[in-house]
Amino acid sequence: MPDSSKRPPRLILASSSPYRRELLERLRIPFDVLVPAIDETPLEGESPEDTALRLSQAKARAVAAGLATGERALIIGSDQVATYDGHQIGKPRTHDKALAQLQAMRGREVLFHSALCLLDSASDDAETVDVITKVRFRALSDAALDAYLHTETPYDCAGSAKAEGLGIALLDAIESDDPTALIGLPLIALTRMLLAAGYPLLEAQ
């Protein structure tokens, strides 16, 4: 009979995002997906960085609260907030709001705060990090922006552009320590956290 004490802890992605799920699948390790029920409204006077960090931890803790007593899991929470000139940019949800976002950002540099939390449900220890990506948008015409939105419909993406798809054509430059951060889940930071937590990342293939 296999020794259950040597099994790695359960890994849970606390997210409803298909993009984060697809990114985590790149690591080829087993994980479950549980959707946290939290209010993602920024607090009054809260900085974009603080919003992203708070929500990433809140998502992980919301999932941890629903686990069975004594169950150990490593729970991944993540949140992304975009900002330019001090304005926070959320998910547009509609075509008109997405177009307004892209019009406001063209020719500008936008900061994407991709916050990550790894929570150990047994010890309640939570490690968090904010990975910043600087993105400069091209100054494209209204017609080009409208055509892009109709093609890719990125209405569930902060910033209204999918950098992993056609949205890359809207961008003039990307600067980041982690190329996956802009898509929504910083895998370099996450693998660092998992290895530090003793998760057998490479041995679990």
Digit-coded pLDDT (tens) for 48-81: 999 999 999 999 999 999 998 888 999 999 999 9
Strand partners, 77: 14, 117
Domain assignment present for 202: no
Tokens coding 137:
């948008």
Domain assignment present for 82: yes
Domain assignment present for 204: no
| 133: containing domain | 4-196
pLDDT tens-digit series, residues 4-53: 457 889 999 999 999 999 999 999 999 999 999 898 888 888 999 999 99
What is d(CA 85, CA 105) in angstroms, rounded to the nearest whole number?
10
pTM of the model: 0.89
pLDDT tens-digit series, residues 145-179: 999 999 999 998 888 999 999 999 999 999 999 99
Catalytic residues: 79
Number of domains in the chain: 1
> What is the chain's length?
205
Domain assignment present for 205: no
Round the average pLDDT of the chain to a whole number and report it: 92
Domain assignment present for 201: no
